[in-house]
């Protein structure tokens, strides 16, 4: 089906472990985004990408790494997970209007 | 001053009433404006976009934009309990989407 998907939907990991969240879109949108959403902070942009091999930092990039080797995929890696990275992560894609994936609920213990 | 401001609510209206949600933004370069609906535990869902001054109607929803006042609003007519959600205002400046913190709407039967 067309759209934007994220995997896994739920993840529990331990402090210090590396975790990769996957995002895949079938619209061939140029732009892709990663947000985290926490109570009291709303949506905060982590990283975004304007095209394959072009990425840029958002508001809260520390502790995260992204890559975009293909237009349709935009993985987000937490290199050494910390408890403060417990959050709900949303991927989005756009040409102008942004469309969100279903989210990944990550818990770091 | 936050770039996109919304009243956090909660806003409570009776079923059948008009719900009025408001948003102000600070960047006069803002080019496009969006309203998202987010149910608890779900991802944001685009419900309206507006690009020029005036009103735009889509079913029970009307978006209003006043660029001179840097103000965008969403009216929901004949509110239903299923409209109970958090509504996010978003403003696009050169593909940099900025979100408000959201207004929580409750429609009481």
3-state helix, strand, coil in chain B (%, to 5): 5, 60, 40
Other C-beta atoms closer than 10 Å to the C-beta of A75 total 17
Task: Return the number of other C-beta atoms located less than 10 Å from residue B64's C-beta.
Answer: 18
Q: Is A98 on the interface with B (CB under 8 A)?
A: yes
Task: Nearest by CB to B43, from A33, A96, A101: name it.
Answer: A101
* Cβ count near B66 (within 10 Å): 12
Interchain CB contact of B95 with A (< 8 Å): yes
Q: How far apart are CA A106 and CA A28, in angstroms?
A: 27
Place of tokens 């926490």: A38
User: Tens-of-pLDDT digits for all 109 residues of chain A?
Assistant: 569 999 999 999 999 999 999 999 999 999 999 999 998 778 999 999 999 999 999 989 999 999 999 999 999 999 999 999 999 999 999 987 899 999 999 999 9
SS3 A84: helix
Cβ–Cβ gap B46/A103 under 8 Å: no
Q: What is the DSSP string of A25-68?
A: ESS--SEEEEEEEETTTEEEEEEEEEETTEEEE-S--TTEEE--
Task: List the single best residue of B49, B95, B100 to mutate versus A (max A Cβ within 10 A).
Answer: B95
Task: Provide the 10 A C-beta neighbour count for residue B99.
Answer: 22
Cβ of A99 and B46 within 8 Å?
Answer: yes
Q: Select from A43, A96, A102 the Cβ nearest to the Cβ of B99.
A: A43
């Amino acid at each position: 089906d067309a759209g934007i998907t994220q995997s896994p939907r739920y993840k529990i990991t331990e402090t210090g472990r590396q975790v990769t969240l996957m995002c895949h879109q079938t619209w061939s949108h140029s732009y892709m985004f990663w947000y985290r959403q926490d109570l009291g902070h709303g949506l905060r942009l982590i990283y975004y990408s304007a095209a394959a091999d072009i990425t840029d930092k958002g508001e809260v990039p520390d502790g995260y790494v992204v890559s975009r080797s293909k237009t349709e995929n935009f993985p987000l890696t937490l290199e050494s997970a910390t408890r403060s990275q417990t959050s709900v992560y949303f991927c989005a894609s756009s040409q102008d209007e942004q469309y969100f994936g279903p989210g990944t609920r990550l818990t770091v213990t | 001053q936050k770039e996109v401001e919304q009243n956090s609510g909660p806003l409570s209206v009776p079923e059948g009433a008009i719900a009025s949600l408001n948003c102000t933004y600070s960047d006069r370069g803002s080019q496009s404006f969006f309203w998202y609906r987010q149910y608890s535990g779900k991802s944001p869902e685009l419900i309206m976009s507006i690009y020029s001054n005036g009103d735009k109607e889509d079913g029970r929803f009307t978006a209003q934009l006043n660029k001179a006042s840097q103000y965008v609003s969403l009216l929901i007519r004949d509110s239903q309990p299923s409209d109970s959600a958090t509504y996010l205002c978003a403003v696009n400046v050169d593909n940099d989407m900025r979100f408000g913190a959201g207004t929580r709407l409750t429609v009481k039967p």
